[in-house]
Amino acid sequence: MPYPDSLTYTKTKYLISAAKLAQCPSDIVREVAFAGRSNAGKSSALNRLTGQKKLARTSKTPGRTQLINYFQVDDAPVALVDLPGYGYAKVPVGVKNAWQKELGNYLQNRDALVGLVLLMDIRHPLTEFDNAMIEWACDNDMPLHLLLTKADKLKRGPAKNTMIKVRNTVQKLGGQITVQIFSSLNGEGQSELEQWLSTRLLPSEDDLHDEDEPSPEAGKTGQ
């Protein structure tokens, strides 16, 4: 599958759901994963981004997404990945622990992963889970984009102040971290998100050269 010159996110389609790393698609070369608490608005953000109201399942009961869901963009070898939500789902502890174990396995071992979008409700940013994900991204030199969702719930002034506070906090940690405001309701911040995603999903000339080079890791999806 060739790469287009630019990505059209409205040309996104559901590809596959994986229960574990070994089931992730081998023909996807570059992917960005969306992570966050179950009530952070991941599905709504993905639906807004792609202009499709039902692409990612939304529910009045947060935490229904229990699989690693793949959405292929523009018939290219790239995908947006909806990871299982964290911390809110009313499920048995054993099931929740299994999710988190598989999430960790995916983050640590998925070769195609080139970036992470961490969604946080702008009214409740930097929870314990958020901080753990930020620390992991810094430790693993993973590009991380913090999406402060539900910005329409706040007036512009308080929303901007929250973004500045979050940005100042994470800048002290180092790493490749960017921060923006986003609203699935009115589309605020959508073009900025698209630009960040395309920067990660569309390879540079050096990336293309590396992808053309055969390696022992080629085709590996993990265990």
The pLDDT assigned to 102 comes to 81
Could you give the 3-state DSSP secondary structure of residue 70? strand
Q: Please check the confidence at residue 221 and state whether its pLDDT lies above 60.
A: no
10 Å Cβ neighbour count for 134? Answer: 21
CA distance 71 to 153: 28
The pLDDT assigned to 39 comes to 86
Q: Please check the confidence at residue 223 and state whether its pLDDT lies above 50.
A: no
Find all residues with CB under 8 Å of 205, minimum gap 6, and list them: none
* Residue 5 burial by Cβ neighbours in a 10 Å radius (0-12, 13-18, 19+): exposed
pLDDT, tens digit, for every residue of 31-73? 999 999 888 999 999 999 999 998 987 555 554 557 899 999 9
Write down all domains in the chain, each with its CATH number in brackets: 12-210 (3.40.50.300)
User: Which one, of 72, 85, 82, lies nearest residue 30 by Cα?
Assistant: 72
pLDDT, tens digit, for every residue of 88-122? 556 667 766 776 788 889 999 999 999 999 999 99
* Between residues 221 and 45, the one the model is more confident about: 45
The pLDDT assigned to 212 comes to 64
Find all residues with CB under 8 Å of 213, minimum gap 6, and list them: none
CA distance 144 to 73: 20
pLDDT, tens digit, for every residue of 144-185? 999 999 999 999 999 999 999 999 999 999 889 999 999 999
The pLDDT assigned to 124 comes to 95
Q: Please check the confidence at residue 11 and state whether its pLDDT lies above 80.
A: yes
10 Å Cβ neighbour count for 118? Answer: 24
The pLDDT assigned to 88 comes to 54
Q: Please check the confidence at residue 217 and state whether its pLDDT lies above 50.
A: no
Find all residues with CB under 8 Å of 91, minimum gap 6, and list them: 63, 66
The pLDDT assigned to 91 comes to 63
